[in-house]
Amino acid sequence: MTGARVVLQTERLLLRTWVSSDRHLFREINADPKVMEFFPFRRSHDEADALLPKLNQMIEDNGFGLFCVELRDEAEPIGFCGLSYANMPDIFPKEVVEIGWRLATRYWGNGYATEAARAVLEFGFMEKSLDAVLAFAVAENRRSTAVMERIGMQRIEAMDFDHPRVPDTHPHLKRHVVYAATRDAWQAQRGP
């Protein structure tokens, strides 16, 4: 990985490609039991290290991906936020794009996930001309669904599903709720 390329800026954040020095933060968030509470797995340091360069490749291949989120004033990485293909052909059509985020716990409660997600949603609609973006989370994950609501996404109960990649050993993590935003509704919320 070489130098970072800034893709988006907000008042307090930069959303950018990943660099080697982000490795420690990426390891931290993928191994933290609180961050990963609603996932059936944690990643080892080796697994996190192997995934990191793939995130930049996703951005290169698709023009969007899971960007590193950095505090502008401190030049400090705090997590990630971005768009990716849902990649669940038994649940969604292959072109469905989801928004997601994950921050280190010490940065929770400051509105950073919401700020980053708003910028990513705007990027998806305005720069990438997406018609719709989905988000989904374990039904009990109120922290994530609250962000979905704050960025203007609407719950689509008819689309709720049992996640096919969650093993039967974690039945409490199977049921996922689905939220969606369309470009038309997003533009209407923003006004003229």
% of residues, the chain, pLDDT over 90: 93
φ and ψ of 153, to 5 deg: -80, 150
How many domains does the chain contain in total? 1
Beta bridge partners of 191: none
Q: Within a domain: residue 57?
A: yes
Domain range enclosing 49: 6-190
Q: What are the tens digits of pLDDT across the range 100-134?
A: 999 999 999 999 999 999 999 999 999 999 999 99
Nearest-angstrom CA–CA distance, 151 and 113: 10
Q: Within a domain: residue 1?
A: no
Q: How far is CA 150 from the centre of its chain?
A: 15
Cα 17 to Cα 81, 113, 138, 153, distances in angstroms: 11, 17, 27, 26
Using the predicted structure, report yes or no on whether residue 7 has a pLDDT greater than 70.
yes
Q: Sorting pLDDT into bands at 50, 70 and 90, what band is 50?
A: very high
Nearest-angstrom CA–CA distance, 110 and 55: 25
CATH (domain of 39):
3.40.630.30
Structure tokens at 117: 């997600």
Using the predicted structure, report yes or no on whether residue 2 has a pLDDT greater than 90.
no
Please tell me the predicted confidence (pLDDT) of residue 3.
78
Q: Within a domain: residue 164?
A: yes
Burial class (CB in 10 A: 0-12, 13-18, 19+), 148: buried
Q: Within a domain: residue 184?
A: yes
Please tell me the predicted confidence (pLDDT) of residue 146.
97
